[in-house]
Amino acid sequence: MLTAHAMNPISIHVEEATVKKDYDELVNKMILEKFAEEMDSKAGVYKLLSKFSEQSYTFSYGVENLSSKAIEFTVDCNTSRNMIFSENGGKITKIIEAG
């Protein structure tokens, strides 16, 4: 899902992401690397990042796998109220590959 807010008319071009063109992942990674704050970490295992966007009042989270093995990470916000989530129920689990 993409949400755009603008005071003036805008033009949007939608293109299917391919393995070579996964712009969503690339852009999210760049934003988190540049602007996010570290929320939590475990030396040699993971780093949890968070970015709050005041303009849209949204939160973005990212996990960096620092280990040599894949890790499973779950973000569970299902007890939050008055929220809209990109995943049903506010809970998402992902496998994050090493490196």
Query: pLDDT tens, 40-97?
Result: 999 999 999 999 988 888 888 889 999 999 999 888 887 887 877 766 778 888 899 9
Residue 82, in any domain of the structure? yes
pLDDT single digits (tens) 22-33: 677 788 888 899
Residue 6, in any domain of the structure? no
Residue 10, in any domain of the structure? no
Residue 3, in any domain of the structure? no
Residue 16, in any domain of the structure? no
Residue 15, in any domain of the structure? no
Residue 37 contacts residue 49 (beta carbons within 8 Å): yes
Residue 44, in any domain of the structure? yes
Residue 1, in any domain of the structure? no
Which residue range is the domain that position 55 belongs to? 23-96
Q: For the chain, how big is the Rg over CA atoms in Å?
A: 15
Strands of the sheet containing 58-65, edge to edge, are 37-42, 46-53, 58-65
* pLDDT at site 1: 55
pTM above 0.75, yes or no: no
Dihedral angle sign, alpha carbons of residues 33, 90, 19, 23: negative
User: Measured in Å, how far apart are the chain's first and last C-alpha atoms?
Assistant: 28
Domains of the chain: total: 1
The pLDDT of residue 34 is above 70: yes
Alpha helices in 1-99 (DSSP H): 23-35
